[in-house]
Structure 1
């Protein structure tokens, strides 16, 4: 188990329980599903006059979704302040790769009608069959990509 979790597993368990409790609490107390990709769309309703972003579903939920996103940012800040800047890790990737990855993930989230965390945590938690299909697709793609990248990184032996 140490090979899979070299820094321990307890903080992953605690994080998962907190995320699950937060999403479940939001749903049980308000009936709202808290996916982050919809926060992005509703945020544009504050800035853009385009008809797409001025839909009632965006206008009616943008206030609580903005507070939801603020909680995410404040949670990360509390983590950094509690554990110190040394607990923050860098990917070591150049900014252009992070930007390109973010754009591709954002495009995919819009095409899939939600992001991986939204479908995986909220969609599966509320037993939505489209979310199961989306999560299975995400996971199959991730496994295939990881295998492809590992294959590309493996040096070929000379004959």
Structure 2
């Protein structure tokens, strides 16, 4: 089987990078999802509209992709046998990790790496290493 370039992933990654750059250049804000959502939990009056628009755009893009007939893997079906306790525990662990790392994968991995932030480089190296180890254990042990 010959290698094929995943054009949709390449385009999606480029759009993420451009959107992060535009948000930083025009608003001075980092496009980290945990920070954007966290800012809605403790809102400042002048800070709510752009956060709602950002999250609304993500939701709208997902809805548009699903109704346009674009076929993506059904990730929800892959975990259909997981218990609600396991799903809640996993979500809480992600939240704790995000809090400990002062940001999420989008904030550190996309925006922070692009700004050459040392803290983001360390965080990205840490979560990517953890992901590689987890996948190896899950698939090979």
Q: TM-score range by the shorter chain?
A: 0.7 to 0.9
> Given the alignment of the two structures, is residue 128 of structure 1 paired with residue 117 of structure 2, yes or no?
yes
CA contact (8 A) 1:123 1:132 kept: yes
When structure 1 is superposed on structure 2, of 94-103 and 115-124 the one drifting more is: 94-103
User: CA separation of 1:147/1:87 partners in 2, compared to 1, >3 Å: closer, same or farther?
Assistant: closer
**2:134 maps to which residue?**
145
Unaligned runs of 5+ in 1: 47-57, 153-159
**Post-superposition offset of 1:62:** 2.9
CA contact (8 A) 2:32 2:105 kept: no
Normalising by structure 2, what TM-score?
Answer: 0.83
Q: Deviations over 1:4-60 (max 9, x none)?
A: x7xx611111111111111111122222211100122112125xxxxxxxxxxx555
Give the greater-gyration-radius structure (CA). Answer: 1
In 2, Cα distance between equivalents of 1:98 and 1:2: 37
Q: Deviations over 1:110-155 (max 9, x none)?
A: 1100011210001111121100000011111111222222333xxx
**1:39 maps to which residue?**
36
Which consecutive segments of 4 or more residues in structure 1 shift more than 6 A? none
> Given the alignment of the two structures, is residue 109 of structure 1 paired with residue 95 of structure 2, yes or no?
no
In 1, Cα distance between equivalents of 2:2 and 2:65: 24
Unaligned runs of 5+ in 2: none
Normalising by structure 1, what TM-score?
Answer: 0.75
**1:54 maps to which residue?**
none
In 2, Cα distance between equivalents of 1:18 and 1:124: 16
The structure showing larger relative contact order (alpha-carbon pairs under 8 Å, at least 6 residues apart) is 2
Count of residues paired in the alignment: 137
Give SS of 1:134's match. helix
